[in-house]
């Protein structure tokens, strides 16, 4: 399958600051990228879908002003958590697609800890 | 709305034996794609197997196979000859494909007993 990278793999930030997470598709052009959130011992929840060059579509209950998503190119999407608070601490996973039979290729995830 | 349900929080199996993980889904979409993903402790999501819901034929990938019951909206995963490396969280997921994200079940923690 295709390779998707995320950077950083782990970030610690202070409450009130913003943090940016990058998602890159390394060997294919991703027309669509997805951002998921996973709390400890829980499942993945879709946060938003971004298409290259257009505004992201957010799932119900996700604050779009808090989680800013930019998909500026076919290989890069960024998620910025603005004014982070401890409750934003979570594991954020991006995926890129569509692949064969609509498979999504997942990045390794980013652990965000807000102190 | 789409839902994916995994009713087994944890399953345990002896090495070399067979285990079946259950999953049901609910959607009104005719074009729907179903996936099983494995998430080891590294938390990297790994595709195990996929199934197009409009196809009746069950997908198979080496030791992994699905039992797809379209009328019952059931999509179970069978792992044959279980190996220690199969120990992980397994998530069932579904989606319409294309520009739509996936809906995941709550996951099943698979333990392999040596």
Put simply, the answer to whether B50 touches A34 (Cβ < 8 Å) is no
**Dist CA B13 CA B18 (whole Å):** 7
pLDDT of residue B11: 98
Average pLDDT over residues B18-33: 91
Determine contact, residues B77/B11, Cβ cutoff 8 Å: no
**Helix (H), strand (E) at residue A46:** strand A44-51
pLDDT in single tens digits along all 115 residues of chain A? 689 999 999 999 999 999 999 999 998 888 899 999 999 889 999 999 998 888 899 999 999 999 999 988 889 999 999 999 999 999 999 999 876 667 889 999 999 999 9
Find residues 21-80 of chain B whose CB sits inside 8 Å of chain A.
33, 35, 37, 42-45, 47, 50, 52
Residues of A whose CB is below 8 A from B102 = 34, 44, 46, 95, 104
Express each pLDDT in B37-61 by its tens digit.
999 999 999 999 999 888 888 989 9
Express each pLDDT in B54-99 by its tens digit.
888 898 999 999 999 988 999 999 999 999 999 999 999 999 877 7
A74 inside 8 A of chain B by CB: no
**Residue B100: which pLDDT band, with cuts at 50, 70 and 90?**
confident
**Dist CA A105 CA A108 (whole Å):** 10
Q: How many residues does chain A have?
A: 115
pLDDT of residue A30: 86
pLDDT of residue A99: 67
**Dist CA B52 CA B86 (whole Å):** 24
Put simply, the answer to whether A95 touches B45 (Cβ < 8 Å) is yes
pLDDT of residue A100: 67
End-to-end CA distance of chain B: 41
Q: What is the DSSP letter of A38?
A: E
Q: Which of A45, A69, A104 would best serve as a mutation to test chain B binding (most B beta carbons within 10 A)?
A: A104
End-to-end CA distance of chain A: 36
Q: Which of B99, B106, B108 would best serve as a mutation to test chain A binding (most A beta carbons within 10 A)?
A: B99
**Dist CA B2 CA A107 (whole Å):** 24
**Residue B23: exposure state from Cβ atoms within 10 A (0-12, 13-18, ≥19):** buried
Residues of A whose CB is below 8 A from B93 = 44
Put simply, the answer to whether B97 touches A98 (Cβ < 8 Å) is yes
């Amino acid at each position: 399958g295709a390779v998707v990278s995320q950077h950083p793999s782990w970030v610690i930030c202070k409450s009130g600051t913003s943090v940016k997470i990058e998602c890159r598709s390394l060997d294919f052009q991703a027309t669509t990228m997805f951002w998921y959130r996973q709390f400890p011992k829980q499942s993945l929840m879709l946060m938003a879908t971004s298409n290259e060059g257009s505004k992201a579509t957010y799932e119900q209950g996700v604050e779009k002003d808090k989680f800013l998503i930019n998909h500026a190119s076919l290989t890069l999407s960024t998620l910025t958590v603005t004014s982070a608070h401890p409750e934003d601490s979570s594991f954020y996973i991006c995926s890129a697609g569509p692949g064969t039979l609509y498979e999504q290729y997942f990045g390794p995830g980013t652990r965000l800890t807000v102190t | 709305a789409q839902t994916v349900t995994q009713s087994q929080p944890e399953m345990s199996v002896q090495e070399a034996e067979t285990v079946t993980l259950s999953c049901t889904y609910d959607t009104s979409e005719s074009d729907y794609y179903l996936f099983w993903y494995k998430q080891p402790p590294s938390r990297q999501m790994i595709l195990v197997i996929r199934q197009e819901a409009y196809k009746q034929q069950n997908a198979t990938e080496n030791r992994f196979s699905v039992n797809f019951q379209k009328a019952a909206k059931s999509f179970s995963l069978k792992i044959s000859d279980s190996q220690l490396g199969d120990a992980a969280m397994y998530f069932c997921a579904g989606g319409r494909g294309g520009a739509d994200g996936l809906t995941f079940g709550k996951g099943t923690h698979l333990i392999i007993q040596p």
